[in-house]
Copies of this chain bind each other. A is one copy, B any other.
Amino acid sequence: MSNDYRHLWKDLGLNLENHDALLNVLGKMYGDIFMSQKSRPAKTAYLDFVMSEVHGLRIKELVDGKKQGKKVIGTYCTFVPEEIVLAANGVMVGLCAGADFATEAVEKYLPRNLCALIKSTFGFKLGGVCPYLEASDMIVGENTCDGKKKAWEVFKGLVKNLYVMDMPQTKNEQAKTILRAEYRKFKTAIEKLTGNTITVEGLKKAIAVVNAKRTVIHRLSALRAADPAPISGLDSLLINQIFFYEDPVRFTGQINELCDELEARVRNKAGVAVPKTPRILVSGCPMAVPNWKIPSIIETSGAVIVGEESCVGERGTRNLVSDAGDTVDALVDNLVDRYLKIDCAIFTPNSERLDHIREMASRYKADGVILYGLQFCTPYSVEALGIEKELEKQGIPAIRIETDYSQEDVGQLKTRIQAFIERLQG
């Protein structure tokens, strides 16, 4: 990344030495994992560009916007409605972190036995390496899992302007009431922060923008049903990751162009792997940049990933928001309806998730399902046992993989995943 950004990073208060170290690792990882892929669609050049400028051009855009009065809202969860932020002329960026950083410092604030994603969130703050976090005028935490819920109490002391959104634990009528109250409260907080009143027209426009971004992901997902798969799981995951911080309109346009190319590939039976390559559905915990460990192992072991049942994937993007309604409250209710359909494991019961996994496996012609869990993520690890049993019972091969962000278990994971892929070929 260009040296011109160093002033920008310094002004944001980053630790330049740590940040250089992170960028070096990130750059090398990206090169090793993404640039070594064969038969990538030409349009993945967009992804390469976005990633090369992930702490550069995009941050400059945010900072330039801030100078013109735009507010940046940093989030950690698919339950924070981007529509409300956009309707108040704000920018929403995902802050979840996918690499171990400053672990020793983190463990002064959090127990060791906590999921890597939360620890990484703290590490990126304590290490001073996340320009998105430092550029955020408001940081939104949410009471989803125990780990996050309790971590926000500590995080509050490390950042300025942490806003915590409560969440229901069920999906009954009461849950709807809770989420409705929280979304209305959030709307008020965003209006206060930005100084902009959210109007029916503005919210409808925002709904259209976010729906469009989701729709292009639906288009991409449908194209991946083809055999041979026209794009790798790694590149598709990256698209789902970029989804969280790229400008939404630009993202939609660029991914639509990529889909045009993929459509031609499907017509020409061109793909990233030979036909009949074992096809994997990955299901479970979210994967934040640069957590590419499992997909990279899978796709260098003779299989191709054809879908992600994940918050960073179809769980997060599958449903659209209705724009029917003549009041802001009615539109907020539409948001509640849409977001409460997300089948996150924090809900009880959450049996829709198994239905969705089966549906995805069938739609994308997956030969097997890898249930991916972050160590110490209780909601997903409890669900994984039952889902694995149920899938196997229905003739869909499944395997549970639990890991963290370290590289220590790569050899062992490779062995298990290769054995699973061999089973699919047999």
Contact = CB atoms under 8 A, between A and B. Distances in A.
A379 to B, nearest CB: 5
A172 B164 CA distance: 13
Report which residue of A108, A152, A166, A348 has the largest number of chain B beta carbons within 10 angstroms of its beta carbon: A348
A205 to B, nearest CB: 30
B154 A169 contact: no
A13 interface: no
Interface stretch (A140-148, A334-342, A411-419): A140-148
Contact of A151 (B146, B154, B181, B382): B382
A111 B376 CA distance: 10
Contacts of A143: 169-170, 348
A174 interface: yes
B375 A345 contact: no
Contact of A167 (B154, B169, B375, B378): B169
Interface in A186-210: none
A1 interface: no
Given A169-B143, A348-B164, A381 B174 contact: no
A57 interface: no
A111 B152 CA distance: 25
Interface in A320-356: 345-346, 348-350
A386 to B, nearest CB: 6
Given A169-B167, A174-B166, A150 B110 contact: no
Number of copies: 2
A149 interface: yes
Interface in A122-177: 143, 145-147, 149-154, 164, 166-167, 169-170, 172, 174, 177
A382 B143 CA distance: 14
A382 B147 CA distance: 8
Contacts of A153: 348-350, 382-383, 386
A23 B154 CA distance: 44
A174 B167 contact: no
A402 B112 CA distance: 11
A113 interface: yes
B114 A382 contact: yes
A111 B154 contact: no
A147 B381 CA distance: 10
Interface string A350-365: 1000000000000000
B111 A382 contact: yes
Q: Lowest 8 CB-CB distances: which A-B pairs, in order?
A: A150-B382, A146-B378, A111-B381, A146-B146, A143-B169, A149-B348, A147-B378, A146-B379
16 contacts: A109-B385, A110-B382, A111-B378, A111-B384, A113-B376, A113-B381, A113-B402, A146-B146, A146-B379, A146-B382, A147-B382, A149-B169, A149-B348, A164-B348, A166-B174, A376-B378
